[in-house]
Amino acid sequence: MSRDNSKTRNRILKAALNLLEASRGEAVRMSDIAKRAGISRQALYLHFATRAELLIATTHYLDGLKGSEERLVPSRAARSGSERLDAFIEAWGNYIPEIHGVAKALLAMKDTDEAAATAWRERMWDVRQGCAAAINALHSDEALSPDHSPDQATDILWTLLSVRTWEQLTVECGWSQEKYIETLKSMARRMFVADRPSS
């Protein structure tokens, strides 16, 4: 990709991100994004063949701006399953408030907008993979509670770490971010980490 094409692509992604954050759940059209980026709609489609492709790329662009990969380093470098569980909850749980604007827009749009639904599903699948990695690390350590299979534990952790749960606890219930993180870590340990017999 030429430097000019790369600059235009970034301008498009920045425009899409700004519009999503300001959308209040209303559909963000390709024509709106093209106008904000200062290009024609036809030029926009040269960079992104579909609106779903653009919305997915926008979530990855936001990840790049927020340093999502760097945030996951402690989780991936964890020496035990329980350490990885804590680190992943911290990484994703503390990331939610930073991406909440875009997440809220995609959530509001997804039931009536297939492109938004596609972007949301891909984003949430990535989160589920992170949950699975933490649970599988516990399982490999033989430290996963027998109350749940690895798949069931992954499903539960994924649900606990949903954007909706974060909204309910911090926005609706008024919890601090610190209380949210510490409570979810404590709950996850009790639910997923097997009790060790005392020696």
Q: Which mean pLDDT values do the consecutive 10-residue runs of the chain (199 residues) have?
A: 76 93 81 94 93 91 92 95 97 94 87 90 94 97 96 98 96 97 97 73
Whether the CB-CB separation of 144 and 135 falls below 8 Å is answered with yes
Task: Please name the residue that has the structure tokens 């589920």.
Answer: 128
pLDDT of res. 101: 87
pLDDT of residue 5: 78
Q: At what angle do helices 3-22 and 81-109 cross, to 10 degrees?
A: 80
CA nearest to 13, candidates 69, 71, 56 = 56
Give me 73's structure tokens.
């380093």
Around 68, how many Cα atoms within 13 Å sit in the side-chain half-sphere?
A: 18
Report the distance separating Cα 110 and Cα 56, nearest Å: 13
pLDDT at 3: 61
Helix axes 177-192, 150-160, angle to 10 degrees: 170
- pLDDT recorded at residue 199: 39
Are 38 and 11 a contacting pair, CB within 8 Å?
Answer: yes
Q: What is the pLDDT of residue 130?
A: 96
pLDDT reported for residue 4 = 62
12: burial class by Cβ within 10 Å (0-12, 13-18, 19+)?
buried
User: Residue 167 CB: number of other CB atoms within 10 A?
Assistant: 17
C-alpha to C-alpha distance for 158 and 117, rounded to whole angstroms? 18
Q: Which two tokens stand for residue 119?
A: 């972007």
Alpha carbons 32 and 26: distance in angstroms, whole number: 12
Distances (CA, A) of 183 to 15, 87, 89, 90: 36, 14, 10, 11
pLDDT value of position 196: 63
Quick one: pLDDT at residue 25? Answer: 64
The two tokens of residue 172 are 């609706």
Q: Tell me the whole-structure pTM to 2 decimals.
A: 0.86
